[in-house]
Protein backbone atom coordinates (compact mmCIF):
# COMPACT_ATOMS: atom_id res chain seq x y z
CA UNK A 1 0.00 0.00 0.00
CA UNK A 2 1.33 3.43 -1.00
CA UNK A 3 1.71 6.01 1.68
CA UNK A 4 0.02 9.43 1.31
CA UNK A 5 3.15 11.27 0.13
CA UNK A 6 4.12 8.78 -2.58
CA UNK A 7 0.76 8.27 -4.28
CA UNK A 8 0.11 9.79 -7.69
CA UNK A 9 -3.01 11.55 -6.46
CA UNK A 10 -0.98 13.30 -3.72
CA UNK A 11 1.37 14.80 -6.31
CA UNK A 12 -1.38 15.61 -8.79
CA UNK A 13 -3.51 17.38 -6.15
CA UNK A 14 -0.57 19.38 -4.87
CA UNK A 15 0.75 20.30 -8.32
CA UNK A 16 -2.73 21.42 -9.41
CA UNK A 17 -3.14 23.47 -6.24
CA UNK A 18 0.29 25.12 -6.54
CA UNK A 19 -0.15 25.88 -10.25
CA UNK A 20 -3.60 27.39 -9.68
CA UNK A 21 -2.24 29.55 -6.85
CA UNK A 22 0.68 30.78 -8.99
CA UNK A 23 -1.65 31.64 -11.85
CA UNK A 24 -4.24 33.23 -9.56
CA UNK A 25 -1.61 35.56 -8.07
CA UNK A 26 -0.77 36.83 -11.57
CA UNK A 27 -4.38 36.93 -12.77
CA UNK A 28 -5.51 38.92 -9.72
CA UNK A 29 -3.62 41.87 -11.21
CA UNK A 30 -6.17 41.83 -14.04
CA UNK A 31 -9.20 41.17 -11.82
CA UNK A 32 -9.64 37.65 -13.18
CA UNK A 33 -10.04 34.22 -11.65
CA UNK A 34 -8.32 31.18 -13.15
CA UNK A 35 -11.64 29.94 -14.54
CA UNK A 36 -12.45 33.31 -16.10
CA UNK A 37 -9.00 33.39 -17.69
CA UNK A 38 -9.57 29.91 -19.10
CA UNK A 39 -12.84 31.11 -20.66
CA UNK A 40 -11.06 34.05 -22.27
CA UNK A 41 -8.34 31.74 -23.58
CA UNK A 42 -11.01 29.37 -24.92
CA UNK A 43 -12.81 32.20 -26.68
CA UNK A 44 -9.57 33.59 -28.09
CA UNK A 45 -8.52 30.15 -29.30
CA UNK A 46 -11.77 29.70 -31.16
CA UNK A 47 -11.54 33.15 -32.66
CA UNK A 48 -15.08 34.00 -31.68
CA UNK A 49 -15.36 37.32 -33.45
CA UNK A 50 -17.33 36.36 -36.55
CA UNK A 51 -15.55 33.01 -36.95
CA UNK A 52 -17.55 30.62 -34.82
CA UNK A 53 -20.60 30.81 -32.59
CA UNK A 54 -19.62 29.54 -29.15
CA UNK A 55 -22.45 28.16 -27.06
CA UNK A 56 -22.51 28.14 -23.29
CA UNK A 57 -22.56 24.34 -23.57
CA UNK A 58 -19.14 24.46 -25.30
CA UNK A 59 -17.72 26.36 -22.34
CA UNK A 60 -19.46 24.03 -19.85
CA UNK A 61 -17.82 21.04 -21.52
CA UNK A 62 -14.39 22.71 -21.74
CA UNK A 63 -14.37 23.75 -18.05
CA UNK A 64 -16.37 20.75 -16.84
CA UNK A 65 -18.81 23.06 -15.03
CA UNK A 66 -22.58 23.33 -14.72
CA UNK A 67 -24.44 25.90 -16.81
CA UNK A 68 -25.24 28.16 -13.84
CA UNK A 69 -21.54 28.40 -12.96
CA UNK A 70 -20.61 29.29 -16.53
CA UNK A 71 -23.37 31.90 -16.62
CA UNK A 72 -22.04 33.43 -13.40
CA UNK A 73 -18.47 33.51 -14.76
CA UNK A 74 -19.67 35.02 -18.04
CA UNK A 75 -21.72 37.67 -16.22
CA UNK A 76 -18.60 38.68 -14.29
CA UNK A 77 -16.53 38.84 -17.48
CA UNK A 78 -19.17 40.96 -19.19
CA UNK A 79 -19.64 43.25 -16.18
CA UNK A 80 -15.89 43.91 -16.04
CA UNK A 81 -15.60 44.62 -19.75
CA UNK A 82 -13.80 41.45 -20.87
CA UNK A 83 -16.49 40.05 -23.16
CA UNK A 84 -19.48 41.35 -25.07
CA UNK A 85 -22.64 39.35 -25.61
CA UNK A 86 -24.90 40.51 -28.40
CA UNK A 87 -28.01 38.97 -29.83
CA UNK A 88 -27.52 37.05 -33.06
CA UNK A 89 -29.18 38.50 -36.15
CA UNK A 90 -30.11 34.95 -37.21
CA UNK A 91 -31.58 33.67 -33.95
CA UNK A 92 -32.87 35.89 -31.13
CA UNK A 93 -32.17 33.11 -28.60
CA UNK A 94 -28.48 32.92 -29.51
CA UNK A 95 -25.89 35.26 -28.03
CA UNK A 96 -22.69 35.97 -29.89
CA UNK A 97 -19.68 36.22 -27.59
CA UNK A 98 -16.72 38.36 -28.49
CA UNK A 99 -13.61 39.47 -26.71
CA UNK A 100 -13.16 43.17 -26.07
CA UNK A 101 -9.95 45.03 -26.89
CA UNK A 102 -9.21 44.99 -23.15
CA UNK A 103 -9.39 41.20 -22.99
CA UNK A 104 -7.40 40.65 -26.19
CA UNK A 105 -4.46 42.46 -24.60
CA UNK A 106 -4.85 40.44 -21.40
CA UNK A 107 -5.00 37.16 -23.35
CA UNK A 108 -1.48 37.88 -24.62
CA UNK A 109 -0.31 38.34 -21.03
CA UNK A 110 -2.13 35.18 -19.90
CA UNK A 111 -0.36 33.17 -22.59
CA UNK A 112 2.91 34.20 -20.99
CA UNK A 113 1.64 33.44 -17.46
CA UNK A 114 0.46 29.94 -18.41
CA UNK A 115 3.65 29.27 -20.38
CA UNK A 116 5.82 30.35 -17.43
CA UNK A 117 3.88 28.05 -15.11
CA UNK A 118 4.27 25.18 -17.59
CA UNK A 119 8.00 25.84 -17.92
CA UNK A 120 8.45 25.89 -14.16
CA UNK A 121 6.61 22.57 -13.87
CA UNK A 122 9.00 20.95 -16.36
CA UNK A 123 12.18 22.62 -15.13
CA UNK A 124 15.10 20.22 -14.87
CA UNK A 125 13.59 17.67 -17.25
CA UNK A 126 15.37 16.60 -20.41
CA UNK A 127 13.48 16.91 -23.71
CA UNK A 128 12.86 13.16 -23.66
CA UNK A 129 11.52 13.35 -20.09
CA UNK A 130 9.24 16.26 -21.07
CA UNK A 131 7.82 14.22 -23.96
CA UNK A 132 7.28 11.21 -21.70
CA UNK A 133 5.74 13.42 -19.01
CA UNK A 134 3.25 14.93 -21.48
CA UNK A 135 2.43 11.48 -22.87
CA UNK A 136 1.76 10.08 -19.39
CA UNK A 137 -0.30 13.13 -18.39
CA UNK A 138 -2.38 12.66 -21.55
CA UNK A 139 -3.00 9.01 -20.73
CA UNK A 140 -3.92 9.87 -17.12
CA UNK A 141 -6.24 12.64 -18.31
CA UNK A 142 -7.97 10.31 -20.77
CA UNK A 143 -8.38 7.69 -18.04
CA UNK A 144 -10.42 10.02 -15.86
CA UNK A 145 -12.24 12.04 -18.53
CA UNK A 146 -15.90 11.21 -18.42
Residue 109 is predicted with a pLDDT of: 84
Domain of residue 17, CATH code: 1.10.10.10
Burial class (CB in 10 A: 0-12, 13-18, 19+), 20: middle
| Beta-sheet pairing, 83-87 with 95-99 | antiparallel
**Residue 76 has what pLDDT?**
92
Residue 124 has a pLDDT of 97
Per-residue pLDDT of the chain (146 residues; tens, 9 = 90+): 456 667 888 999 999 899 888 888 888 888 888 889 888 988 888 764 455 567 778 888 888 888 889 889 999 999 999 998 877 777 777 777 788 888 888 888 888 888 888 899 999 999 999 999 999 999 998 998 76
Which pLDDT score is estimated for 49? 47
**Which residue range is the domain that position 104 belongs to?**
4-144
Number of domains in the chain: 1
CA 7 – CA 17 distance, rounded (Å): 16
Supply the DSSP string of 100-111, one letter for each residue: -HHHHHHHHHHH
Amino acid sequence: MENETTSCSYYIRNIAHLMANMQDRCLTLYGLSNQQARILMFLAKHNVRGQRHIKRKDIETFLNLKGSSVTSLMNGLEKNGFVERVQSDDDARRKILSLTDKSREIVKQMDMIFEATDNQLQEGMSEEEKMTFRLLLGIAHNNITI
